[in-house]
């Protein structure tokens, strides 16, 4: 039995390039939102809260929580892809690198552009790493794995994100207008970027499984 999903045989260099670009950009986008200080997406609120409470960098906690979430895949009988494993490591390292380069700011004229840039970049980055077709992110895989047991994807995703948002906020993570903006904007952004950046198979020109995943995810 394979422990990791096989890599598609076609366009492998392009897939890996798109994957790495997307994951690094995703980490940068989170770093931009964190530096904006106006609120981030639920999982990053949790990572930020863990960092505030227990130390270690936010990106390091992103890696740790990614590993924890992957362990939750085991009872769900989900298999990670190369992209899943890359997601765990590259996003966290990119968050730490971005925070190391960008200074903290408390000026609204700087915070708002950082937030907007982070949200838009996140939407593009998500489309890129999903489009590579090398495996779902650990958190998305947890959602779809639970939903596959007869639950609504929307209900499962909402329940998980509300839970991690609440825990992160209690631990000191920042919840604000950025959190709301991300929740409102990410769906429409992904609706455009995922189809636009998805690499189609050479043989058929389409990938039915990815089309199905897109309908459920978006």
Q: What distance in Å separates the CA atoms of residue 218 and residue 198, rounded to the nearest whole number? A: 14
What is the residue-level pLDDT of the chain in tens, covering all 218 positions? 567 778 887 888 999 999 999 999 999 999 999 999 999 999 999 999 999 999 999 999 999 999 999 999 999 988 899 999 999 999 999 999 999 999 999 999 999 999 999 999 999 999 999 999 998 899 988 998 998 888 888 899 899 999 999 999 999 999 999 999 999 999 899 999 989 998 876 554 444 444 444 433 33
Longest dimension (CA), the chain: 54
Non-local (6+) Cβ contacts of 90 within 8 A are 20, 23, 24, 27
Nearest-CA neighbor of 138 among 200, 184, 199, 76? 76
Give the pLDDT of residue 203.
53
Residue 203: other Cβ atoms inside 10 A: 9
Give the pLDDT of residue 1.
53
């Amino acid at each position: 039995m394979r422990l990791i999903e096989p890599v598609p045989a076609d366009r492998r260099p392009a897939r890996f390039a798109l994957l790495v670009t997307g994951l690094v950009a995703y980490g940068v986008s989170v770093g931009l939102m964190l530096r904006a200080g106006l609120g981030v997406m639920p999982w990053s609120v949790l990572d930020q809260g863990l960092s505030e409470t227990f130390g270690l960098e936010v990106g390091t906690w992103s890696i740790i929580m990614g590993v924890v979430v992957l362990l939750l895949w085991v009872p769900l009988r989900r298999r990670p892809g190369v992209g899943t494993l890359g997601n765990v490591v590259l996003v966290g390292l990119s968050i730490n690198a971005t925070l190391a380069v960008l200074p903290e700011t408390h000026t609204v004229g700087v915070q708002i552009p950082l937030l907007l840039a982070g949200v838009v970049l996140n939407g593009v980055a998500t489309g890129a790493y999903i489009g590579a077709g090398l495996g779902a992110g650990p958190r998305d895989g947890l959602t779809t794995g639970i939903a596959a047991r007869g639950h609504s994807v929307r209900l499962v995703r909402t329940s998980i994100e509300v839970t991690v948002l609440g825990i992160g906020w209690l631990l000191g993570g920042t919840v604000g207008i950025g959190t709301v903006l991300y929740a409102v904007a990410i769906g429409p952004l992904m609706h455009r970027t995922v189809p636009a950046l998805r690499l189609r198979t050479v043989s058929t020109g389409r990938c039915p499984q990815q089309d199905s995943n897109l309908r459920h995810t978006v």
